[in-house]
Amino acid sequence: MVRFGSDLPGAATSRRRLMRDAAAGTVGAFGLLAAACGSPAPGGDSTGTTPGTRKATLRVHVVKKSDVSDWIDAGLQQDVDDFKKKNPNLQITLELHGTWTDTYFPQVIAVSASGQLGDAVWYPPRHRSHIAWGTKYGIVKDLIPIAKAQRYDLGQFYKGATEQNTHEGKQYWLSYISEPIVPIIAYNKAKVQQLGMALPKDDWTFDELAEWAKRGTTGSSAGGTGGTWGYYRGDSGAGPFGAGPYLRQWGVEPVDPTGKKATFMDKREAFIQALTFRYNLMNTLKVSPNPKDGSIAQHDLFGKEQRLIATDIWPFRIQGYPNDYKDMQIDFVLTPVVKKGDKRRSMLNEHVFGVTTASKFPEEAFKFLTWIGGKEMNVQGLVQGAKGPIARADVLSDTRITDKWPTYKKIKTIMDAIEADYPVANFRGEEFDTAATWSRLERGEIPVLEMANEIQRLAQEVLNKEPA
């Protein structure tokens, strides 16, 4: 069963009031969460007393998103891994709260404040921001005691994911999507062969990629028509989230282990080199479209127009691009390294679920989490092209996936050594990323050194703020 947030009983008035207060700046969004923690609400109706046999209706708070609510609903309809058959007394209700955090957070806050919080909640972490829901605001509880009671092995997940979801010995979240951030390049294989270019290699350096891209840049591509660009940084973006692995590959870490000090300039020379490479792609070598010429429609340029030969992508496009552009011959290669033989660095992006402190059915809610984070739900999610990967070796090595999408063999090599996202101690992760962008540099509006110093300064200003 799927319900929208606006249909929740007894929540509309408080949600309007709280959202109005938040919009006016009188109460911060996370402050509303703190206020909501004082009166946990029942998670649903129950009969019987034995966990696993009692009847329970779980209310799960999610966004309306193809890889979240839509796939979970499809998994229930398909009864993947016989979840419904194995749990006949367990009913799942998905309560939808918009399509992203701008609507989801205020609505879940309002539901909590009105005493109607359900049993499980979704969260898309940004630099450990989700830990606040387990520590400062008490929205979700430690999963380790429940896992021990159910003899569930949390070690099924990669260490990087466990680390990212744990704080001071307590694990507040379970992975649902957990993937390396923008680890590969998609390229138009037919176009490469047509231009007489060599196929890109997994062991390439950034300099080799740039030289290759020069050969693929033809005609009047720079603002005109009829030509091609060799390469575009695409999904990795111009900031420290999507480009986090890129910075780590250069040895640059945005913050120190405490999450309180910006450290871009601790590796000053490497940071400047990383920014200079991105600047040169667009302004010196001119092998990439430049945002100064207007908005860049990455996917149209790559797929519909086929004027972009290669672009950095998120893992889910391994399934998505071939499905969307059936007339193209698309292949994938690992993003480069700085020097031959360098250890490949990465960073984890996640969507996670937690059991609420308000739930009267925490054991059943945890069972639901282990199902959506389980092997079969995630194998099917990848095979059916419904979601991104998860931080489980048994999923990424399953031949049903690798036979259909061979590139996941490359993804597994990255995930085997995946590193957690870096922390932002005051939970202002999205604000940190917005401040520490180098989009002005890509447009050629500011010199590299000035941009580097500005990123360091603006990032530290965010870290100096009070916790969100």
Domain-wise residue ranges, the chain: 2-179+349-415, 184-345+426-463
Structure tokens of 418? 């995946």
Q: How far apart are CA 83 and CA 367, in angstroms?
A: 10
What CATH code is assigned to 184-345+426-463?
Answer: 3.40.190.10
HEC string of 272-324? Answer: HHHHHHHHHHHHCCCCCCCHHHCCCCHHHHHHHCCCECEEEECCCHHHHHHHH
Q: Looking at residues 333-346, what average pLDDT do you find? A: 97
pLDDT band at 5 (very low <50, low <70, confident <90, very high): low
Distance CA 97, CA 107 (A): 6
Going by pLDDT thresholds of 50, 70 and 90, the confidence category of residue 226 is confident
**pLDDT reading at 23 higher than 50:** no
- Digit-coded pLDDT (tens) for 391-430: 999 999 999 999 999 999 999 999 999 999 999 999 999 9
**Same topology for domains 2-179+349-415 and 184-345+426-463, yes or no?**
yes
Q: Is the pLDDT of residue 120 over 90?
A: yes
User: Cβ(151)–Cβ(408) under 8 Å?
Assistant: no
Alpha-carbon distances, residue 132 vs 77, 159, 163, 173, 419 (angstroms): 33, 21, 15, 11, 20
Residue 26, pLDDT score: 29
| Mean pLDDT confidence for 17-21 | 41
Domain 2-179+349-415 coded CATH 2.50.20.10: no
- How confident is the model over 129-171, as pLDDT tens digits? 999 999 998 999 999 999 999 999 999 999 999 999 999 999 9
CA 331, CA 202: separation in Å to the nearest integer? Answer: 12
Residue 265 one-letter amino acid = M
